[in-house]
A = this chain, B = another copy of it.
């Protein structure tokens, strides 16, 4: 009887955590769109205006990459269906994240080319690209172990904790990449006197929402075993 009570309480909290994750995820998307559309001239991958090309990068890296990766991680809690269906949704969302990440990274390389800026100099770029490469490896390993050609049950069970812990570490890595990216942009604009106090606050709130999205996704996965 005692066990049931404890389980029920965690279940309620864990649902609260996924709701919180969605709340901060959508908040971050809205704040970022307000920032890019109202303050930074909009987004367009094929534009001649390099700033509009650049703006595709933060948007796709959050909405396309981090947000979908987070949704994929929460799929085992949010998709109310058979385990097999949850697994396919998990893999599919991660694939969407992966493809968006490729386009998002291409956008910033294109921006650098258009302005003759060197690539891969900042801490943000080092963290970002390493994270993305490790993420791709994790996806391929996950696919090969759990979907096709599929490892034996024994191996799969052994790999699960590493797959989960690695995935959670990668989520935080991508959050670190996002926050260093926002900091780099806001510091640059600030020193060049191209940033109002209002825009700085908007960027900071966007960063905080991204961070809280990451924390809520992580806690909902971390505490899932108590559900």
Contacts and interface: CB of A to CB of B under 8 A. Distances in A.
Interface string A35-66: 00000000000000000000000000000000
A122 B6 contact: no
A207 B186 CA distance: 19
A191 B122 CA distance: 12
Contacts of A98: none
Interface string A107-124: 000000000000001111
A28 interface: no
B169 A127 contact: no
Q: Which DSSP category, helix, strand, loop or mixed, fits chain A's interface?
A: helix
Interface in A146-195: 158, 161-162, 165-166, 168-169, 172-173, 175-176, 179-180, 182-184, 186-188, 191-192
A200 interface: yes
Interface in A175-226: 175-176, 179-180, 182-184, 186-188, 191-192, 197, 200, 203-204, 207-208, 211, 214-215, 218-219, 222-223, 226
Contacts of A122: 183, 186-187, 200, 204
A126 interface: yes
A138 to B, nearest CB: 13
A179 to B, nearest CB: 5
A176 B127 contact: no
A219 B123 CA distance: 22
Contacts of A200: 121-122
Interface string A80-93: 00000000000000
A200 B179 CA distance: 18
A158 B219 CA distance: 15
A208 B124 contact: no
Contacts of A191: 187-188, 191-192
4 tightest A-B CB contacts, nearest first = A187-B187, A191-B191, A180-B183, A165-B222
